[in-house]
């Protein structure tokens, strides 16, 4: 069928998604139902039915980060259990699936390799096609599907990424990003300084401390055009926490850190909205769960007669169903990944993906 022809009958795709780019291991199953009579050159907006979304997290002791080898060992030990749990929850077997989607990157090398190996193995045993998915695009497509946002400016904030993104000509284009460390990494590292628990996540625990803070401490504010920098803020506040602990409570430090970094993100997001003429903001990624970030972004959007879209922890934190969602969209346009090309990459930029399912 040519790209201009219309499908004569409804098409259903059931996709399995495997996510393991960091310390969250997720398995998700999604069902897409595509309406009849839709030309192939029209944007795909299928009915999305969530069948399963299970997840397990590797948590090191308080004050410690997670090493790639330990995360990979966790993923290898847990993934079969999660896979069986997802299939049972969806009440499906391998014969009911159409494709196996996995995170190709970006992320931590060893965990990515562990999950990709399972995806390749299942693909060959079950004789199903593979679909390699960009982790960042998975977040965006899941956010669009859950919230109904049409063409938003996307703020993608997580442990490994900080980007302001807008769609144009079948590409998610990066308008601005961090010049050094991601905002989630900054929060995680400061949580280690304060020896906050890693369960459920360092960023969540910093958010709870910040809610009890009241005194704002001036910190470096580093916005360079459309880009931001967090390493200087981290060095500055680490020094305060270690050398001036008697002057500043942990709650006030967390409050000040959040307020400063979130204000930087609001600034560059607003600039992107003005540039493309959008009135929508979609916040995705693990840090996107932060209620204060959503409040600050919402206030800015309201002043521009706009609206903020965000999801809860089921979808903003790394999960398997977002990989299934993006993979199913690509698979519907005929995209698959050959076994020989099913390698992983720690560096896979959002703007390197051909978003063929959008027009």
12-141+317-352 against 149-310: fold identical: yes
Whether 26 has a binding-site annotation, put simply, is no
Whether 98 has a binding-site annotation, put simply, is no
| pLDDT tens sequence across 21-43 | 999 999 999 999 988 776 667 78
Whether 158 has a binding-site annotation, put simply, is yes
Whether 318 has a binding-site annotation, put simply, is yes
| pLDDT tens sequence across 72-131 | 999 999 999 999 999 999 999 999 999 999 999 999 999 999 999 999 999 999 999 999
DSSP state of 158: S
Give 40's contacts (C-beta < 8 A, 6+ positions apart).
Answer: 1, 2, 3, 4, 5, 6, 7, 333
Whether 334 has a binding-site annotation, put simply, is no
Whether 180 has a binding-site annotation, put simply, is no
pLDDT at 9: 60
Among the listed residues 110, 103, 170, the one whose alpha carbon sits nearest the alpha carbon of residue 132:
103
The domain segmentation of the chain, as residue ranges, is: 12-141+317-352, 149-310
Over 60: is that where the pLDDT of 284 sits?
Answer: yes
Q: 63 by DSSP, 3-state: which? A: coil
Domain 12-141+317-352 coded CATH 3.40.50.10680: no
Whether 156 has a binding-site annotation, put simply, is yes
Q: CATH assignment of 149-310, given 3.40.570.10, 3.40.50.150, 3.30.420.40, 3.40.50.2300?
A: 3.30.420.40
Cα-based angle 91, 92, 94 (whole degrees, multiple of 5): 160
Q: What is the dihedral of CA 284, 288, 292, 297, to 10 degrees?
A: -20
Dist CA 206 CA 256 (whole Å): 11
pLDDT at 2: 33
Dist CA 273 CA 297 (whole Å): 12
Whether 32 has a binding-site annotation, put simply, is no
Q: Percentage of the chain with pLDDT > 70?
A: 96
pTM (whole model) above 0.85: yes
Dist CA 53 CA 319 (whole Å): 7
Over 60: is that where the pLDDT of 219 sits?
Answer: yes
Whether 188 has a binding-site annotation, put simply, is yes
Whether 207 has a binding-site annotation, put simply, is yes
pLDDT at 4: 35
DSSP state of 35: P
Whether 198 has a binding-site annotation, put simply, is no
Cis peptide before 106 (omega within 30 of 0): yes
Give 325's contacts (C-beta < 8 A, 6+ positions apart).
Answer: 15, 17, 28, 30, 48, 138, 141, 142, 145
Report the mean per-residue pLDDT for the chain.
Answer: 94
Whether 203 has a binding-site annotation, put simply, is yes
């Amino acid at each position: 069928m040519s790209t201009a022809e219309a499908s004569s009958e409804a098409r259903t795709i059931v996709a399995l998604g495997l996510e393991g780019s960091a310390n969250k291991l997720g398995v998700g199953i999604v069902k897409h139902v595509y309406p009849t009579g839709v030309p192939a050159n029209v944007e795909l907006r299928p009915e999305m039915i969530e069948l399963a979304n299970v997840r397990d997290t590797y948590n090191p002791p308080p004050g410690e980060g997670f090493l790639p080898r330990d995360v990979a060992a966790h993923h290898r030990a847990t993934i079969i259990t999660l896979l069986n749990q997802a299939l049972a929850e969806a009440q499906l077997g391998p014969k009911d699936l159409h494709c196996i989607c996995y995170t190709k990157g970006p992320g931590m090398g060893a965990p990515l390799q562990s999950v990709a190996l399972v995806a390749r193995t299942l693909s060959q045993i079950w004789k199903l096609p593979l679909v390699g998915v960009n982790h960042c695009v998975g977040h965006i497509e899941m956010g669009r599907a859950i919230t109904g946002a049409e063409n938003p400016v996307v703020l993608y904030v997580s442990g490994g990424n900080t980007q302001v993104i807008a769609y144009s000509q079948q590409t998610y284009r990066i308008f601005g990003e961090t010049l050094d460390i991601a905002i989630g990494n900054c929060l995680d590292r400061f949580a280690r300084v304060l020896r906050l628990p890693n369960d459920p996540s360092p960023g969540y625990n910093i958010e709870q401390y910040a809610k009890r803070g009241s005194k704002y401490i001036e910190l470096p504010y580093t916005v360079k055009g459309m880009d931001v920098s967090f390493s200087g803020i981290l060095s500055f506040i680490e020094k305060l926490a270690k050398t001036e602990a008697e002057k500043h409570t942990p709650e006030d430090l967390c409050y000040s850190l959040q307020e400063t970094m979130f204000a930087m993100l609001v600034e560059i997001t607003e600039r992107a909205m003005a540039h493309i003429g959008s009135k929508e903001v979609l916040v995705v990624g693990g840090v996107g769960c932060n209620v204060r970030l959503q409040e600050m972004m919402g206030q800015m959007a309201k002043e521009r007669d706009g609206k903020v879209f965000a999801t809860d922890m089921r979808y903003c934190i790394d999960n398997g169903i977002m990989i299934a969602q993006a993979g199913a969209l690509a698979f519907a346009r005929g995209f698959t990944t050959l076994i020989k090309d099913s390698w992983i990459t720690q560096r896979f930029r959002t703007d390197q993906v051909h978003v063929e399912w959008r027009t």
